[in-house]
């Protein structure tokens, strides 16, 4: 396994729509394992391949406290969204920023698993929010896109300042 570097907003590579995966082979399984290791180390509860500069429709998620219940989504498709929920979100690509975002409260998602088998699951609460956030990444969308332009400008300034401090 290997740790992968995470791209940070406003890196334009985060905006490229990711391409569907033909099937789950050894290379995709390796990518899933590397992404999971990277997500656990960050630490985060979800990671999408475009965040590690891989333009593929691949996501890993683990919202468990024990960090031992990974979920794998290859070519995920949200087939149903119902209700509205507002939760404070963060993102490994937008470090230290947390803002409330409105999303569907319940979803139905279809994907291929790590074994390459198609499956479908229902999700609500934090898991539903997390999956929607990660699927957005596959379409080049970030949670800050749901905020006002004024807020986004403030966030970019704050992140700029942080970067200058670490240089």
Closer CB to Zn ion, residue 31 or residue 91?
A: 91
Closer CB to Zn ion, residue 74 or residue 91?
A: 91
* Residue 47, CA distances (Å) to 59, 157, 167 in order: 6, 24, 25
Residue pair 17/140 in contact by the 8 Å Cβ criterion: yes
By beta-carbon distance, which residue lies closest to Zn ion?
91
Give Cα 114 to chain centroid, integer Å.
Answer: 17
Preceding peptide of 138 cis, ω within 30°: no
Closer CB to Zn ion, residue 55 or residue 120?
A: 55
**Which residue among the candidates 89, 99, 134, 149 is catalytic per the annotation?**
134
- In b/e form, how buried is each residue of 19-39, taking b as 16+ CB within 10 angstroms? eebeebeeebeebbbbbbbbb
Q: Please report, as ranges, the residues that interact with Zn ion according to CB under 5 A.
A: 91
Residue pair 98/91 in contact by the 8 Å Cβ criterion: no
Closer CB to Zn ion, residue 21 or residue 46?
A: 46
Map tokens 């082979």 to a residue: 25
* Smallest gap from residue 92 Cβ to Zn ion (A): 6
* Smallest gap from residue 79 Cβ to Zn ion (A): 22
* Smallest gap from residue 25 Cβ to Zn ion (A): 26
* Smallest gap from residue 91 Cβ to Zn ion (A): 3
Q: Active site includes 99?
A: no
Catalytic residues, which ones?
A: 134
């Amino acid at each position: 396994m290997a740790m992968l570097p995470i791209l940070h907003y406003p890196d334009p590579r985060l905006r490229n729509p990711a391409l569907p995966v033909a099937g789950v082979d050894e290379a995709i399984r390796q990518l899933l394992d590397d992404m999971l290791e990277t997500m656990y180390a960050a630490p985060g509860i979800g990671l999408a391949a475009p965040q590690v500069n891989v333009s593929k429709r691949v996501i890993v998620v683990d919202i468990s406290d024990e960090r031992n219940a990974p979920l794998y989504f290859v070519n995920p498709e949200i087939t149903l969204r119902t209700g509205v929920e507002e939760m404070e979100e963060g993102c490994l690509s937008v470090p230290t920023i947390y803002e409330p975002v409105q999303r569907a409260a319940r979803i139905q998602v279809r994907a291929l698993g790590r074994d390459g088998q198609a499956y479908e699951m229902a999700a609500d609460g934090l898991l539903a929010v997390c999956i929607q956030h990660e699927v957005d990444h596959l379409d080049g969308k970030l949670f800050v896109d749901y905020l006002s332009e004024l807020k986004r400008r403030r966030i970019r300034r704050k992140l700029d300042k942080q970067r200058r401090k670490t240089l």
